[in-house]
Amino acid sequence: MKKIEFIKSVKSIKDLPKGNIPEVVLCGRSNVGKSTFINTVFGRKGIAKTSSTPGKTQALNYYFVEEKFYVVDLPGFGYAKVPKKEKEIWQKLIADYLGFSKNIIYAFHFIDSRHEPTKLDVTLNGFLRELEIPYIVLLNKIDKLKQSELAKARKSVRQFFPELLPGENLIEFSSTKGIGKKEILQLLKRILF
Ligand SMILES: Nc1nc2c(ncn2[C@@H]2O[C@H](COP(=O)(O)OP(=O)(O)OP(=O)(O)O)[C@@H](O)[C@H]2O)c(=O)[nH]1
Ligand SMILES: [Mg+2]
């Protein structure tokens, strides 16, 4: 899957693309590596804007892949330094979008393997379940961990979300090392083609 094209940035539900093209949604905390994931998985460095400062993505960014489906890069949540008002607007946009779009076929929930899931991760997980959106968790940035730390991270995330099964709906990932890319491409093929 190499063909990817940026379509548009959406800041209001009324501007969502029309039609019924399937959407795969990238969601999770700010700075967890969602935008970087796009560049890694679709092999186009720089198509998605990334930043070492949290809060880079501030709208729903639509990318069209293989002229078949959208990857929707969501703004991250939980970044402390964003003004409260702005934070509320983002979170509302995300919640509205998840509830509103009829085209979401899968959500990829990113969790930073170096940290325990946060309250907002629990909230997001609740939304996805309530809305019956199929999802996987990507335990991300595992290049930063030693084997023993990775074992701990795996255990911790499964304590929060017992429904997760490693290799099935829990995928370990690293953009830096390309870990998990093959599994993600296989999953995308399975759900889309
Ligand atoms: N070590 C390591 N760093 C990563 C990885 N993925 C992303 N990063 C770094 O993490 C930082 C944040 O990445 P982004 O992709 O911009 O994060 P985001 O989730 O899109 O953030 P928001 O747009 O704020 O929601 C950047 O400095 C990336 O280079 C990874 O797998 N390993
Ligand atoms: Mg981003």
Q: Which CATH number fits domain 4-192: 3.30.1490.100, 3.40.640.10, 3.10.180.10, 3.40.50.300?
A: 3.40.50.300
- Residues found in the chain: 193
How many H-runs (helices) and E-runs (strands) does the chain carry? 5, 7
Percent over 70 (pLDDT), the chain: 99
Per residue in 87-140, pLDDT (tens digit) is 787 778 888 999 999 999 999 999 999 999 998 899 999 999 999 999 999 999
The residue whose two tokens read 């379509």 is 7
**What Å distances lie between residue 121 and 15, 19, 85, 157, 192, CA to CA?**
26, 30, 20, 10, 26
Distance CA 76, CA 52 (A): 13
Indicate the helix (H) or strand (E) that contains 73.
strand 69-73
Q: What is the mean pLDDT of residues 144-153?
A: 97
Reported pTM: 0.95
- Determine the pLDDT at residue 193: 77
Q: Is the pLDDT of residue 43 over 80?
A: yes
Closest ligand relative to 29 C-alpha = 1
Residue-range domain boundaries for the chain:
4-192
Amino acid at 137: V
Nearest CA to ligand 1 atom 27: 52
For ligand 2, the distance from its centroid to the CA atom of residue 51, given in whole angstroms, is 7
Contact 30, 94 (CB under 8 A): no
For ligand 1, the distance from its centroid to the CA atom of residue 178, given in whole angstroms, is 13
Contact 75, 59 (CB under 8 A): yes
Which atom of ligand 1 is closest in space to residue 140's alpha carbon? 31
SS3 92: helix
Q: How confident is the model at residue 80 (pLDDT cuts 50, 70, 90)?
A: low
Q: Is the pLDDT of residue 1 over 90?
A: no
Sheet with strand 4-10: strands edge to edge: 4-10, 60-65, 69-73, 23-28, 104-112, 135-140, 170-172
Contact 64, 54 (CB under 8 A): no
For ligand 1, the distance from its centroid to the CA atom of residue 97, given in whole angstroms, is 23
